[in-house]
Structure 1
Amino acid sequence: MFSTPVGWLGLVGGPRGLVDIQMHTTREAVSDSVNLRFPLAHEELSGVLVDARTQLLEYFAGKRERFNLPLDWRRLSDFQRRVLRHLQQLPFAELTTYGEMARQVGAPRAARAIGAVMAVNPFVIVVPCHRVLGRGGRMTGYSGGAGIASKQWLLDFERRSLRNDGDNQ
């Protein structure tokens, strides 16, 4: 677990890659959430978790725009995987809407289903669900950290980073 400008992050990894990222406002909340979801997890920073922590810290330092991590998609449905893999391709600081995402993944009437996928995204920040907005660009739900405030912080941070240094990774 480690602290970031938007709260504490807890990483869970396995033999196939990163399994989950928990984001909460306190270390205790991250610990409780990880222990509830992954009772056999233990605090050990090795392998993919070292890479994930490094890349996330680079992101928050304004030195990384894309993540290069193995993600373990097995806990997700086919639809969830399709949506989140598509979202991974969204460029740094670019925004989309639930409706646009639905059309892009071939499910034009599934904007609410897209929202439901965003709500259970196990790879917050790495798979940038914070870049998905409601109809008309409205700021809508975000389940990580401090909710909408965390989403707004991430969007503002990405815009500032893009303005300040256009040649991040």
Structure 2
Amino acid sequence: MSKILIEKGDITKLACDCIVNAANKTLLGGGGVDGAIHRAAGPQLLDECKTLNGCRTGEAKITKGYNLKAKHVIHTVGPIYSGAENDREMLASCYEKSLELAKKHNIKSIAFPAISTGIYGYPKEEAAKIALETIYKWIDSSNYEIDIILMCFDSETQNIYEKYIKKENN
């Protein structure tokens, strides 16, 4: 049975099969979690990302983890929040496409940051609802067992996720 866990800390230090990078469209590093993952993984990550020809919003691509404890990094590009209906669809797609890639590569544990809630300005509460709704829907329909870690950078995000996680999960 799949499990969803909520943790607070540094996603780059997590020992799991895969961490998800909230990347920009170039996949060449940036600020926030993206920059932290690139710094921790080392220059080989940038070299591999250069071969991927970027990534569209709502899509996902996979690389090796290099110097990270995680074996893989799934890079997904969240929407820059504008309040439009397709923001919701694009954010949900980030989680869905990342989980599909994890399944395709037989990944058994994956950690997500709070995609688009940093510089991209997505309201944390709405983003958490979308993330959990999408993850639960995917688990119910995928017939694949995976441990999903929602890695929170701060207590505010952790508290929001804990408010919306299904109680029967624990």
TM-score range, shorter chain: under 0.3
Q: Which of 1 and 2 has higher RCO (CA within 8 Å, sep 6+)? A: 2
Could you say which structure has the higher strand fraction? Answer: 2
Q: Decide which structure has the larger Cα Rg and report it.
A: 1
TM-score for the superposition, normalised by structure 2: 0.28
